[in-house]
A and B are shown apart, each in its own frame.
Chain A
Amino acid sequence: DIQVTQSPSSLSASVGDRVTITCRTSQTIINYLNWYQQTSGKPPKLLIYAASNLQVGVPSRFSGSGSGTDFTLTISSLQPEDFATYYCQLTYSPRTFGQGTKVEIK
């Protein structure tokens, strides 16, 4: 199975900061990677699919990039509602999730 390594596991940032989260896979997956946001007590919310496509309704400050084995989620200007935990996920089967990145207020 393809292994997924997400980093960092947590980060502290301020409102307005640019934030970058990375996922690396053990084999090339072309662009078959999604990104989710999860806030406490709610199911994950799809933000980005196929590495760089913004899901309908997601603010444009979120963006995804990468292909092959290295992928990045970027929040261009962190907003108060963005403090949450973020996960990457393979579109291949098994649909493995990354370990998560908790974005906390500095």
Chain B
Amino acid sequence: EVQLAESGGGLVKPGESVRLSCTASGFNFNKAWMSWVRQAPGKAPEWIGRIKSEAHGGAIDYAAPVKGRVVISRDDSQNSLFLQLDSLKTEDTALYYCATDEAALANGFVFWGQGTMVTVS
């Protein structure tokens, strides 16, 4: 069974940084492209960025609204995905999800975690 578990959220102050983790199991993580998505309360999901597998060069794309403040990385030996977001603003308050990203197959985000909440206040 595929499982994704996010952690690292909490209450943070404006200007601080947060590092989120996503631990994967039940599939070949090292072959997976992974994305981070956030969703502010009552709003549509917002894609943050994607990291390809090492077999596809490990390329990373970021959404324009967070580019320059965000770093996505992965540790395939630990089946883990990471998101660091710096210079936090109140508008970064959201539930942060990791998801498997099957764009290489013209597919969508098939598997999602339950999310970790980040509150900036």
Contacts and interface: CB of A to CB of B under 8 A. Distances in A.
Contact of B61 (A32, A45, A50, A94): A94
Contact of B113 (A43, A55, A94, A96): A43
Interface string A74-106: 000000000000010101011111111000000
Interface residues of B, number: 23
A49 interface: yes
Interface string A33-57: 0101010000111100110000100
Contacts, number: 62
Nearest to B65: A94
Contact of B50 (A32, A89, A95): A95
Interface stretch (B8-16, B19-27, B40-48, B82-90): B40-48
A62 to B, nearest CB: 14
B35 interface: yes
Contacts of B55: none
A43 B96 CA distance: 10
Nearest to A44: B45
A44 B112 CA distance: 8
29 contacts: A34-B107, A34-B109, A36-B45, A36-B109, A38-B45, A43-B112, A43-B113, A44-B45, A45-B112, A46-B107, A46-B109, A46-B110, A49-B102, A49-B106, A49-B107, A49-B108, A50-B106, A55-B108, A87-B44, A89-B47, A89-B108, A89-B109, A91-B107, A93-B50, A93-B103, A94-B47, A95-B35, A95-B103, A97-B47
Interface of B: 35, 44-47, 50, 61, 63-64, 97, 99, 101-103, 106-110, 112-115
